[in-house]
Amino acid sequence: MPYSGSEHALSKATTSAINAGAHVFREAREAKGYSIEDLAVTCGLTVDEIKDVELGLDASPSYLRRVAAALGLPESAACNA
């Protein structure tokens, strides 16, 4: 089923945390109840690669797009990570 955008809407608390400077991917992952391992499997990256992305250590555009897509975030989230 295509992603409609409403199935996994972020809570106000998560949106506020992101706006306050928390990392968008970590906050979105935690809001959806995904472990790092779950996200790694979903987007085809290793656990270490996900950790690097969440820490801002790996800004590979392809990794960022894959993580954003796995979390149901707009592609613009990959540009702002």
Tell me: pLDDT of 44 over 70. yes
Q: What is the pLDDT of residue 2?
A: 41
Q: Which residue has the higher pLDDT, 20 or 31?
A: 31
Name every residue whose Cβ is closer than 8 Å to that of residue 23 and which is 6 or more positions away in sequence.
54, 55, 56, 81
Amino acid 6: pLDDT: 47
Give the pLDDT score at 9: 58
Q: What is the pLDDT of residue 18?
A: 53
Q: pLDDT at residue 68 above 60? A: yes
